Structure 1
Amino acid sequence: MLIKVLGSGAGGGLPQWNCNCANCSRARAPTGTLAARTQSSIALSDTGDDWVLINASPDLLAQLRAHPELQPARALRDSGIAAVMLCDAQIDHVTGLVMLRERTTPLPLYATRSVLDDLSGALPLIPLLGHYCGVDEHPIALGVPFTIAPLTGLRFTAIAIDSAAPPYSPHREAPVIGDNIALVIEDVATAATAFYAPGLARTSESILTAMRSATLVLVDGTFWTDTEMIDLGLSGKRAADMGHLAQCAANGKPGMLDLLDTLPRTTRKVLIHINNTNPILDPDSDAHAIVRAHGIDLAEDGMQLLV
């Protein structure tokens, strides 16, 4: 299984267009030492020819230009993107669907029923695309393994996770099962698995079991502390309020670092969906050193992971 990190940042990327925090300022400076990050998305393949796009970020066109192997040029109009799968209906994970409107056949779209409903009503991207390429909807059943043609070498299983629905969703304040999912992706030939959850607020026994059996865990790295945005004066919300488990423990509850420490030493642990304010992005920071001391990597745009 080949995984390409198309984008590793949280909503807004790095630098965020209207942000002058320390990280954004350094990333924007001509002599800055922080690499720019686009908004989170990954692509998966079993052979390197056809790919499943997991989440479609607003930066999708730039991401595709940076990865020419996703454009195999087998015909006059072609793409290596066989399908798109969504972990949620957040703006930074679905806006890129509009960028695929020039497709010549309906776009295969895999998502839970609640996500498809949000994209048919509150944020009507599916009806919008109906005026262009059209959408071939594939509702995901939780806990039921499935494959996506022509990538028959990969098997996917969606697990419901506890996180937040988008602000525009009619069930923002009353979450429903399926608003957010984590994915277990299995290489059929080798039985190796990857666990992917760019948004994770809390854990469950099913989540812990999946993480502990995975070869690779690619997981929510949004915030360093639960009060990060409050401390910077950028928001009145905690990380948990926005559907994210911070790296540091808070209020007597373990953080993401504590959770990842419980995984087998052989598991590769990578943080993705990293917010522009997170101090772990600064390679000279104490926070970065702590994460690395825990044996955890930071996803970067263009990173390639072989599972």
Structure 2
Amino acid sequence: MTTIRVLGSAAGGGFPQWNCNCHNCDGVRRGTLRATPRTQSSIALFDDGAEAILVNASPDILRQLRDTPSLQPARAPRDTAIAGVVLMDAQIDHVTGLLMLREHRRALPVYATGTVLDDLGAAFPLTRILSHYCGLEAHALPLDDTPFSVPPLQGVALTAVPLESKAPPYSPNRHAPRRGDNIGLRIVDRHSGRRAFYAPGLGRVDDHVFTELRIADVVLVDGTFWRDDEMQQAGFSGKTAADMGHLALSGPGGMIEILDRLPASRKILIHINNTNPILAEDSPERGELTRHGIELAYDGMEIAL
């Protein structure tokens, strides 16, 4: 059986964000807000063996590893259960954790699209930096609907699904999107046939993405912002959620409206920005999620396929 463990459920910066004094961050620090702190988004996939697949490597990876004992099986003086890392994009909050894994005893298998590998080879040269440590064993992901596996987890079939979102701000392709800058991940348990669709960054749901959502038993998707103008209203940015490559939860055509159309047994939001009112457990927005049967991911959450 495939198990998805949420290692981190927040957007970049985590919750509370280190330099933010918004209503949410200030409240959780002071203990006046009913909310749970969260690290930056990442998940791990387990089958019936001791090995695991890391999906994204956040800057909080060391804390996430400490909080997940199964990722340190301690079979040798130096050991890890991480069989490989699958990257959804080249965003700093999804790849910087690779630097923390530099003591790996052999080249670390990393699975990413060609466009993401290009960014990590040049604009943010992690490949070159890590060549002086463990090194990366790069595997370019196909974008033609061909499933792949990460050995030795043969019971988990993965498929990269191109998404419409944004390349990182440091990328030369930030304003000239390429196919493969961002992907969703179809996760299928080869024994049961049950499937999940994971997409922490999702700017638009077109027909092929909606099909993926509709046939999934579990959807684990972008819940970054409640409103499209959330950052503008808070005075933190002149950009909308759409400008940053995220589909807002509320409003016509928003994520809640899309999730309402799905037959999935579980609908879960991940990659929650620190400004999002759904982080407050007693907020009206959190209550609206509950009425729609939508869950909010939290660090340590486990989902069985």
* 2:249 is equivalent to residue 255 of structure 1: no
* 2:132 is equivalent to residue 134 of structure 1: no
Residue pairs, 1:224-243, within 5 angstroms = 224-243=226-245
Residue pairs, 1:169-180, within 5 angstroms = 169-180=171-182
Residue in structure 2 matched with residue 306 of structure 1 by the alignment: 304
Q: Is the 8 A contact 1:270 1:298 kept in 2?
A: yes
Q: Is the 8 A contact 2:33 2:280 kept in 1?
A: no
Residue in structure 2 matched with residue 294 of structure 1 by the alignment: 292
Report the secondary structure of 1:211's partner residue. helix
Residue in structure 1 matched with residue 196 of structure 2 by the alignment: 194
Q: Match for 1:270: what amino acid? A: I
Q: Match for 2:175: what amino acid? A: E
Are residues 119 and 107 of structure 1, via their aligned partners in 2, closer, same or farther at CA, if it must alter by over 3 Å? same
Deviation at 1:267, TM superposition (A): 2.5
Name the % identity.
57
Aligned CA-pair RMSD: 0.9
Q: Match for 1:136: what amino acid? A: E
Report the secondary structure of 1:258's partner residue. helix
Runs (4 or more) in structure 1 with deviation over 3 Å come to none
Residue in structure 2 matched with residue 151 of structure 1 by the alignment: 153
Are residues 30 and 203 of structure 1, via their aligned partners in 2, closer, same or farther at CA, if it must alter by over 3 Å? closer
Residue in structure 1 matched with residue 61 of structure 2 by the alignment: 60
In 1: Cα distance, 2:248 partner to 2:60 partner: 25
* 2:18 is equivalent to residue 17 of structure 1: yes
Residue in structure 1 matched with residue 9 of structure 2 by the alignment: 8
Residue in structure 2 matched with residue 279 of structure 1 by the alignment: 277
In 2: Cα distance, 1:204 partner to 1:255 partner: 13
Aligned residue among 217, 222, 225 for 1:223 = 225
What is the TM-score when the length of structure 2 is the normalising length? 0.98
Report the secondary structure of 2:6's partner residue. strand
* 2:34 is equivalent to residue 36 of structure 1: no
In 2: Cα distance, 1:54 partner to 1:241 partner: 25
* 2:85 is equivalent to residue 87 of structure 1: no
Deviations 1:101-122 (A, max 9, x none): 0001000000000000000000
Q: Match for 1:299: what amino acid? A: A
In 1: Cα distance, 2:157 partner to 2:249 partner: 29
Q: Is the 8 A contact 1:2 1:48 kept in 2?
A: no
In 2: Cα distance, 1:185 partner to 1:232 partner: 36
Are residues 48 and 232 of structure 1, via their aligned partners in 2, closer, same or farther at CA, if it must alter by over 3 Å? farther
Residue in structure 1 matched with residue 50 of structure 2 by the alignment: 49
Q: Is the 8 A contact 1:3 1:42 kept in 2?
A: yes
Deviations 1:69-119 (A, max 9, x none): 100011111100000000000000000000000001000000000000000
Residue in structure 2 matched with residue 269 of structure 1 by the alignment: 267
In 1: Cα distance, 2:47 partner to 2:109 partner: 18
Deviation at 1:28, TM superposition (A): 1.3
Residue in structure 2 matched with residue 104 of structure 1 by the alignment: 105
Q: Match for 1:77: what amino acid? A: R
Aligned residue pair count:
303
Residue in structure 1 matched with residue 124 of structure 2 by the alignment: 123
What runs of 5+ residues in structure 1 fail to find an aligned partner? none
